[in-house]
Amino acid sequence: MQNKMNEFIFYAEVQPIFAFWAKIVQTYEISATFATRKTPKRQQNGYYKR
């Protein structure tokens, strides 16, 4: 029984770390998506090319 309680306490402490790590990875993926998104090239007169 004591061993099961120790496992529970361990997972209860580690879970927020995994949640924090997942949030960092998610933020990185969103940033990478915006960084690689193609934007229309502006012409010299300032209008977007169609």
The per-residue pLDDT for range 1-50, each reduced to its tens digit, is 667 777 777 777 788 888 888 888 888 888 877 777 666 665 565 665 55
17 falls within a domain: yes
39/47 Cα distance (integer angstroms): 13
41 falls within a domain: no
40 falls within a domain: no
pLDDT of residue 45: 59
Given a contact cutoff of 8 angstroms between Cβ atoms, the answer to whether 47 and 41 are in contact is no
25 falls within a domain: yes
Q: What is the CA radius of gyration of the chain?
A: 23
8 falls within a domain: yes
44 falls within a domain: no
3-state secondary structure of 41: coil
pLDDT of residue 2: 66
Total tally of structural domains belonging to the chain: 1
Cβ contacts of 41 within 8 Å, gap of 6 or more: 49
Domain residues for the domain of 27 are 1-33
